[in-house]
């Protein structure tokens, strides 16, 4: 599975959009991009995933570049409850394993 | 609401004890996973299972074993607990089609003294 690179930490003002970047330059054609988040002392929570096209759900939007070498998770109106560690993961279509990195700590400031 | 339930939230055991961590899911998922999480190291995969009685080693299986006798239950076993196994342990499950990735439990914080 391809490796991902994320910033260690980011800040965002409450009510503003939070844009979390992820680089996955070695991604191959059948690999999906998944995003999870982990709020302190809880298990990770699924947010969104995509293959090639941009995706949106009730939690977030996922923008994948045309070459698929990077992606951005967008939380449109961040709240204090969105403070968490966000993980970007690439998973091959043939495997059931998710390999987590150390993620980005997003701190939403009042 | 779908659930992955881990039997204990906090556990304290002595060095050398045999420790069982239990995980039960109610979603009829084929795949189940055990991770440990340590500060600065993120989540690391210990073992996983894609079917009853099947198991595969993850990245850090040493010192652990697993058991999957029923589809809904996946147990992690520490044969002889050591202090370096003090950690947060997270169980997850996923369907074969993997459409929405994993569902995680709330975790068990194990302290070995």
| DSSP letters for A71-108 | EEEEETT--GGG-EEEEEEEEETT---------EEEEE
Tens of pLDDT, residues B65-110: 999 999 999 999 999 999 999 999 999 999 887 667 789 999 999 9
pLDDT score recorded for residue A97:
75
pLDDT for residue B32 is more than 70: yes
Residue in chain B lying closest to A93 (CA): B98
Query: Closest Cα partner for B58 from B92, B28, B29, B107?
Result: B92
Rounded Cα gap, residues B101 and A3, in angstroms:
18
List of chain A residues whose C-beta atoms are within 8 Å of the C-beta of residue B103 = 46
- Cβ atoms within 10 A of the Cβ of A24, count? 23
Q: Do the Cβ atoms of B42 and A100 come closer than 8 Å?
A: yes
Cβ–Cβ below 8 Å for B42 and A102: yes
Tens of pLDDT, residues A46-81: 999 999 989 999 999 999 999 999 999 999 999 999
Q: Do the Cβ atoms of A38 and A100 come closer than 8 Å?
A: no
Cβ–Cβ below 8 Å for B42 and A100: yes
pLDDT score recorded for residue A29:
83
The DSSP 8-state label assigned to residue A28 in this structure reads -
List of chain B residues whose C-beta atoms are within 8 Å of the C-beta of residue A42 = 106-107
Of A42, A43, A103, the CB nearest to B42: A103
Q: What is the mean pLDDT of chain B?
A: 93
């Amino acid at each position: 599975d391809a490796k991902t690179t994320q910033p260690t930490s980011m800040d965002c003002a409450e009510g503003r959009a939070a844009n979390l970047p992820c680089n996955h330059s070695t991604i191959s054609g059948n690999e999906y991009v998944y995003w999870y988040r982990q709020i302190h002392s809880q298990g990770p929570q699924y947010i969104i995933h995509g293959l090639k096209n941009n995706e949106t759900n009730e939690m977030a939007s996922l923008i994948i570049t045309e070459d698929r070498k990077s992606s951005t998770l967008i939380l449109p109106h961040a709240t204090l409850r969105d403070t968490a560690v966000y993980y970007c993961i690439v998973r091959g279509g043939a495997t059931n394993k998710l390999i987590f990195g150390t993620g980005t700590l997003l701190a939403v400031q009042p | 609401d779908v659930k992955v339930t881990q039997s204990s939230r906090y556990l304290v055991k002595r060095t050398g004890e045999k420790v069982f961590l239990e995980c039960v899911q109610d979603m009829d998922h084929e795949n189940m996973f055990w991770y440990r999480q340590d500060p600065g190291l993120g989540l690391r995969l210990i073992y996983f299972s894609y079917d009853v009685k099947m198991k595969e080693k993850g990245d850090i299986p040493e010192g652990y074993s697993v058991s999957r006798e029923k589809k809904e239950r996946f147990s992690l076993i520490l044969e002889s607990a050591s202090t370096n196994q003090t950690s947060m342990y997270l169980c997850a499950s996923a369907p074969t089609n993997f459409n929405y990735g994993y569902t995680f439990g709330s975790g068990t914080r194990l302290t070995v003294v």
